Amino acid sequence: MNFDLADLRAFVAVVKLRSFRAAAIELHISQPALSRRIDKLERALGVRLLKRTTRKVDVTGVGREFSARAERVLNGLDESLLGMRDVARRVTGEITVACMPSAIRYFLPGILREYHARYPGILVRVIDQGAHDVLGTVSRGEADFGLNYMGTQDPQLEFERILTEHFVLACRRDHPLAGKRRVRWSDLVDHDYMTVTRASGNRMLIDMALTNAANRPRWFCEAQHVSTLVDFVEAGLGIAAVPELAMPPAGHATLVSVPLAEPAVTRPVGLIRRAGRELPPASRLLYDAIRAARRAR
């Protein structure tokens, strides 16, 4: 048959994104060139794969069946290439990950460093955004998968929990609470305490856990993101309760994580992807690396 892998990739991209414009951008080709590839594929197969209107792209029944098979063929080829060390270094492509901001500074960089060393030709786009936005980005197909602390009831999304994350006290090494094995929330009342705004899902978790607490800390400063709180703590502005992934590993020159108790506050952290769809091999490798990195940490 007179078509090639580039034609298959063009078709799969259009089906995935439901847009010729978005698919052309993803493949780094013009829209006319993309249309020619689709036309060539349809002529070679002798069937109509897509229904195009001025507003949207629909997939025919034959097109849906062929798309699943084409994706398996392309994934199989990509897996073979990525499995060959000499070839993997020359493989190119792009993947997109949506990620909660609290994992950006200390958790994700090490994973990306190792991934880039092995696959230097693959561009990784990281979209750092709040928990609700991560869900929307993955659901719309704008990211291959997401790392998030919030699950979902959306049947179009799958949430795979990889850990239960505890909130810890973030403080400087020279702070009076830094040497304690653990602290209670009531221990924070006499110190300059900071928190995230009420719009944050993390604030909701803390407020719910402390609903019946007799002595809860009063804050003098609010920030929109957990990462900002950690920066404020490091600058000596005060202390804060933050998710443990937002903190550096033990041995940091300035910052210390102290377990918080009475009550312990936790949140589920996991990986989100669209249900019923296989991740592209390059994305799957990063997905699995995030799983493995948590166990190593």
List pLDDT tens digits, range 230-280: 999 999 999 999 999 999 988 899 999 999 999 999 999 999 998 877 788
Q: What pLDDT does 46 receive?
A: 81
Of the residues 22, 45, 73, which one is the last residue of a structural domain? 73
Domain match, 291 and 231 both:
no
Residue 79 placed within a domain = no
Q: Per the domain annotation, does 147 fall within a domain?
A: yes
Do 194 and 239 belong together in one domain? yes
Q: Which residue has the higher pLDDT, 107 or 54?
A: 107
- Would 174 be classed as within a structural domain? yes
Calculate Rg over the CA atoms of the chain. Answer: 23
Nearest residue to 202 via CA among 127, 297, 102, 105: 102
Whether the CB-CB separation of 259 and 184 falls below 8 Å is answered with: no
258 and 172, same domain (yes or no)? yes
Range in 6-15, 201-210, 220-229 with the lowest mean pLDDT = 6-15
Q: How far apart are CA 249 and CA 255, in angstroms?
A: 9
Tell me: do 178 and 250 sit in the same domain: yes
CA atoms within 13 A on the CB side of 84: 9
pLDDT at 132: 86
In a domain, 193, yes or no: yes
How many domains does the chain fold into?
Answer: 3
Q: Does residue 101 belong to any structural domain of this protein?
A: yes
Same domain, 180 and 259: yes
CATH of the domain at 35: 1.10.10.10
pTM score, two decimals?
0.71
Residues 158 and 182 reside in one and the same domain: no
Long-range CB pairs of 109-113 (<8 Å, 24+ gap) are: 110/293, 111/286, 111/289, 111/290, 111/293
What one-character-per-residue DSSP string does 232-286 give? HHHTTS-EEEEEGGGSPPTT-SSEEEEEEESS--EEEEEEEEETT-PPPHHHHHH
Residues 156 and 173 in one domain: no
Same structural domain for residues 281 and 234? no
Task: Identify whether 78 is part of a domain.
Answer: no
The type of residue at 80 is: S
Average pLDDT over residues 114-140: 89
Are residues 144 and 205 both part of a single domain? Answer: no
| 3-class SS of residue 184 | strand
pLDDT of residue 15: 81
Contact 15, 42 (CB under 8 A): no
CB 202 within 8 A of CB 243: yes
| Domain shared by 149 and 185, yes or no | no
CA 250 to chain centre: 24
Are residue 203 and residue 158 in the same domain, yes or no? Answer: no
Closest by CA to 36, choosing from 25, 20, 47, 22, is 20
Which CATH number fits the domain that encloses residue 98? 3.40.190.10
Full domain range(s) for residue 291: 85-162+269-296
DSSP states of 187-204: GGTTS-EEEE-TTSHHHH
pLDDT tens string 152-210: 778 889 999 998 999 999 999 999 999 999 999 999 999 999 999 998 889 999 999 99
The 10s digit of each residue's pLDDT in 56-100 is: 788 888 878 877 777 777 677 666 666 656 555 656 678 999 999
Q: What residues pair up with 93 in beta bridges, in sequence order? A: 122
Q: Is residue 66, in this structure, part of any structural domain at all?
A: yes
Amino acid identity of residue 33, one-letter, is A
Whether residue 136 is found in the same domain as residue 281? yes
Phi, psi at residue 258, to the nearest 5°?
-120, 125
Domain boundary among 73, 107, 125: 73
User: Would 185 be classed as within a structural domain?
Assistant: yes
Q: In which element (H, E) is residue 138 found? A: helix 131-139
**How far is the C-alpha of 75 from the C-alpha of 55, rounded, in Å?**
30
Following CA atoms 8, 9, 11, 13 in sequence, which dihedral angle do they give, to the nearest 10 degrees?
Answer: 160
